[in-house]
Amino acid sequence: MSASIEIAGVSKIYDGGVRAVDAVAMDIRQGEFFSLLGPSGCGKTTTLRMIAGFETPSAGAIRVDGADITHVPAHKRDMGMVFQNYALFPHRTVAENVAFGLRMRGLDKATIAAKVKAALAMVELSGLEDRRPAQLSGGQQQRVALARAIVIAPRVLLCDEPLGALDKKLRQQMQFELKQLQKKLGLTLVFVTHDQEEALAMSDRIAVMNGGRVEQVGTPTEIYNQPTTRFVADFIGDTNIFRGERTTTGTGASALDVGKGLILALPPTDAQGTGVLSVALRPEKIRLSPRGDAAIAAGSSAHGIVENTNFLGGAVLYRIELASGHRVLVQQPNAGTSRLFVPGNGVTLDWTPADLVALKD
């Protein structure tokens, strides 16, 4: 059976007063694929290592199914671990690598052989039992590391950037396979990554970390569409962030004055309050059309000039300078060469005020 994990006000302070993790609190549900996402040095790997028992918290507690394991040794936590560098024994065969944890638990040879065979079949490595790691591809080595972790039937599987060393196509393949395997086994899986697309694609929920703290916890849809802080909005994918003073339009509607004549109509949910506000607008929420002579809608349209284009295959990313001088990113589906804009083209941009997301500074 998988387990729930409670991280209660956990901090980690190293010698010299370096605070790697600062009062982190989160609940990881039973059977959940939960990702710790953030840039290098944000504390995500240190948090994972404290869950694993490789590091001891300076403050706070870690509980599994309600039991305090803060000071329980790593080998008694019933958790499997997969590392980025695989950490396989180079002089041992695939089968011997997978069997390592079972031997440490004192199981008999027949039981070990049966469990190893089943684990290798689960990761599609049957028939490679006698090979050594150097004879395998990167993807196969990662599967061996995964089989070694799941063969002990852990309640929790911990993964520290396990796909980071793979090329993009193989990485995407392994993302599908790992998520499918996690759901099949019903494991609680805690996954560390700095790759936003990877976290969005694989996770049930994500904790975005920055500077040792948790900025936001939510589903991929919530994290992407409703970021709560400027850091989350800026870190997850491309976005346009505007900061200005709340004001009202001539009709009395709530708006944001971002300077240089650019006024953004605010959605009704953000119509209250005064003072400075930051909002985010995703590039794909903006529509582009050739610039004409028709009047634009105040607060939700603007004219601009295409500065640069970035062809992404299925989409095109444009950088556009507005008449106000502000620069924005706009992403449009690839609808064929006849619909592409080129640098120098005049364009009209339209968006819906409801797509503006208010941010905490």
Question: Confidence band (pLDDT; 50, 70, 90) for 338?
Answer: low
Residue 98: what residue type?
V
Tokens for 206, please give them. Answer: 């994500």
**pLDDT of 92 above 90:** yes
Average pLDDT of the chain? Answer: 92
User: Which of these ranges, 81-95, 219-233, 314-328, has the smallest mean pLDDT?
Assistant: 81-95
pLDDT tens by residue, 269-321: 665 667 899 999 999 999 999 997 777 888 899 999 999 999 999 999 999 99
Residue 277: what residue type?
L
Tell me how far apart the alpha carbons of residues 291 and 334 are, in angstroms, rounded to a whole number: 19
Dihedral in degrees, nearest 10, Cα atoms 189, 195, 196, 199? -10
DSSP SS3 for 166: coil
**30: Cβ–Cβ under 8 A, 6 or more apart, which residues?**
1, 2, 3, 4, 188
Question: What is this structure's pTM?
Answer: 0.92
Per the document, the length of the chain is 361
- 3-state per-residue secondary structure call for 95-129: HHHHHHHHHHCCCCHHHHHHHHHHHHHHCCCCCCC
Q: Cβ atoms within 10 A of the Cβ of 55, count?
A: 18
pLDDT at residue number 273: 67
| Helix residue ranges, H only, the chain | 44-52, 94-104, 109-122, 138-150, 168-185, 196-202, 220-225, 230-235
pLDDT at residue number 315: 94
Element (H, E) at 350: strand 346-350
Bridge partners of 257?
245, 263
pLDDT tens by residue, 159-209: 999 888 778 888 888 889 889 989 999 999 999 999 999 999 999 999 999
